[in-house]
Amino acid sequence: MMLRRRLIKTMLSLPFGAGLSGLGHAQAIADFGVLKAGYAQRLKKILATGELPYVDMESSCNPTRLDIDFVAKNMDQLNIGLMALSADIGQAEFKKGMRFNALSEKLVAAYPDRFIPVGNGGQPPALTDAPTEFMDAQEAAIDKRQIMCLGEYEFRHYPSPRQVKRGTGDDRDVNVPIDGPTGHRVFALSEKTGIAFQIHYEIEDGLLEPLEKMLAQYPKAKVVWCHLAQIRYIERASRYSPTYVDGLIKRFPNLHFDTAFGDSASIYPLSHQRHARIWASDGSLASEWRDLIAAHPGRFLSALDLGGDRMDRMASYDQKHRYFLKLLPADVQHRVAYRNAWSLLFDEEFA
């Protein structure tokens, strides 16, 4: 086991020529194959028990406070297959000059069968105060084969409910134009390398057109729009609906959506509204959203959206996500849970 961990840690630092699809070096393909084989083995092992594994494509953490063994133990207990757990660069680390945190190397070295190496979260202060340096560091990590996908980029982000309640949300009211220099660089990088990235992009009428223009300009960029149907202020989102999302899916084949959202009772404290619009009034999945997912089963991804202040709540987040999955048709459950993430990462169907 120790030798295998050293091998994997070494291989993650090797250079490569492109994204996971169309890699130019045979050695690089073989090296990623080691991780891929471990992932497949773990997913199949869970499936063999009759349980449904899923791939958490969007969680983040404070790497200075992360208990890796605690997370891994909970993944086993909860039958979570894989996790793309990104490191956020905090104020203290940023002031010391950090632009890339190599947490993924530690995660993969410790548990190579369950953690997906992922770039850092694109949020303040790194993305707002030093966007060029931050993007340089993320791109270098791709070139050094340290990550398989990019993290969540906060182009438009309101303070989270927890930050509002703590009174610490002032630095999280983020507005980075998605069609500005940073947005163009992220989209172009995804298109060039073939690796996916995530966006936190509040759902508002005035923000939709810039996103659509970027999707049209970079048709090969692999975009995961986080938090399907999470609307903080319904009066600002008159255009967004299952019909609108259906249109986006049909126009942009590389656009995906993750399914990390609050439960039916979740209230956004600034607007005092239930902001997970995917639920019906009785707490079930609204039929129009269920029908949308069933009509396009390959475009939605499991996600927990764990964060640095809630890693101890894995069990409750898992329970809520599994409730959502169970409301989908059986075959769609498997697509959303793990098959779509596999296709996004490896450009092939899970077998």
pLDDT band at 29 (very low <50, low <70, confident <90, very high): very low
Residue 172 has pLDDT above 90, yes or no: no
CA 13 from chain center: how many Å?
22
348 DSSP 8-state letter? S
Within a 10 A sphere around the Cβ of 268, how many other Cβ atoms?
20
pLDDT at 32: 77
pLDDT reported for residue 308: 77
> What domain count does the chain have?
1
In a domain, 242, yes or no: yes
* 274 CB neighbour count, 10 Å cutoff: 17
| Segment 82-106 mean pLDDT | 96
8 inside domain? yes
Residue 278 placed within a domain: yes
Selected residue with higher pLDDT from 303 and 20:
303
Look up residue 212 and give its two tokens. Answer: 């659509």
For residue 248, is pLDDT > 90? yes
**CATH number reported for the structural domain that contains residue 68 in this entry:** 3.20.20.140
Give the bridge partners for 198, in sequence order.
Answer: 152, 224
DSSP string, 174-215: EE--TTSHHHHHHHHHHHHH--EEEEEE---HHHHHHHHHHH
Q: pLDDT higher for 32 or 261?
A: 261
Closest residue by Cα to residue 263 from 335, 300, 313, 221: 313
Residue 268 pLDDT grade (very low, low, confident, very high; cuts 50, 70, 90):
very high
Confidence of residue 169 (pLDDT cuts 50, 70, 90): low
Q: Which distant-in-sequence residues (6+ apart) come within 8 Å of 293 by Cβ?
A: 300, 328, 332, 336
- Indicate whether 351 belongs to any domain: no
Q: What is the DSSP letter of 61?
A: E
Average pLDDT score over residue span 18-46? 67
Full residue range of the structural domain in which residue 7 is found:
2-346
Render pLDDT for 302-331 as a digit per residue (tens, 0 to 9): 999 998 778 899 999 999 999 999 999 999
Structure tokens at 324: 């959502």
Nearest CA to 259 out of 326, 336, 347 is that of: 336
Q: Is 119 contained in some domain?
A: yes
Q: Is the distance from CB of 107 to CB of 85 less than 8 angstroms?
A: yes
Give pLDDT tens digits for 184-202.
Answer: 999 999 999 999 999 999 9
Cα 3 to Cα 8: distance, rounded to the nearest angstrom? 9
Q: 276: which 2 tokens?
A: 């997970």
- Whether 15 maps to a domain, the answer reads yes
Q: What confidence score (pLDDT) does residue 8 get?
A: 45
